[in-house]
Structure 1
Amino acid sequence: MTEGLFDTTGAPVTVGIDVTGPISAYTVKLADGSPVGRADFVDAPGADGVRIFFHTEVDQEFGGRGLAGLLVREALADSVRKNLTVVPVCPLFARHLKRHGDEFVASGGVFRRATPADIALATRAARNGA
């Protein structure tokens, strides 16, 4: 869990990882522990070290506080620490890497475009895990 983070209002938040459900996710929580957002992913079976991010969502009442961007940045930083290849199916992750991909790579990150198989895996996970 990453502590010492703040949203754009200055409110403290934490980002952690939840691998207990059918879909794994990085989650952002308020100081009281209430979850308010998540970045869903699946790890590609048989492709060691490939993490496919396919959906990011923040509760509507907390929109505009920079939480989705915080989730993306923390998930990518964790992917670097774990030597994972990131596959951005989620438009938010794809847009972030389009803008900041060089910085991500310079920090040790690796990413690649999604293949049809990656998209199919993410679609199955979303259908079966929801």
Structure 2
Amino acid sequence: MADEQIEVVRTPDRYEVRVDGKAAGFTLFHADPEGRLVFPHTVVEPEFGGRGLGQVLVSRAMADVASRGETVVPLCPFVTKYLRKTEVPGLKIDWPS
């Protein structure tokens, strides 16, 4: 992984993690009626598993959301676990009830 180019890119409905330009995974989101970003699902493709790319993906996605001043509603278990263990400066979280 040290020599690989890893990038996380935001599209209208997901953040994608790419390794050397190849799609390796994504975390989906959509805006709810209040304008909050709901994150329901995260996937890392099997051939890229076990390399920490899910962590990289969610870390960079949450940092980007925080930088935009948006609010997250974590429904995805992976995103929820990350946010329960990691402080993201400036990130607003609305935990589902």
Q: Same fold (TM over 0.5)?
A: yes
SS in structure 2 of the partner of residue 108 of structure 1: coil
Correspondence for 2:83: 97
Correspondence for 1:58: 44
The code of the aligned residue for 2:93 comes to F
Q: Which runs of 5+ in 2 are unaligned?
A: none
Alignment of 1:72 onto 2:58: yes
User: What displacement does 1:59 show?
Assistant: 0.6
Distance 1:54 1:71 in 2: 14
Q: Which runs of 5+ in 1 are unaligned?
A: 1-8, 116-130
Correspondence for 2:74: 88
Correspondence for 2:14: 25
User: What displacement does 1:16 show?
Assistant: 0.2
> Identity of counterpart residues, as a percentage?
33
Alignment of 1:36 onto 2:24: yes
The code of the aligned residue for 1:36 comes to A
Distance 2:65 2:41 in 1: 16
> Larger radius of gyration, structure 1 or 2?
1
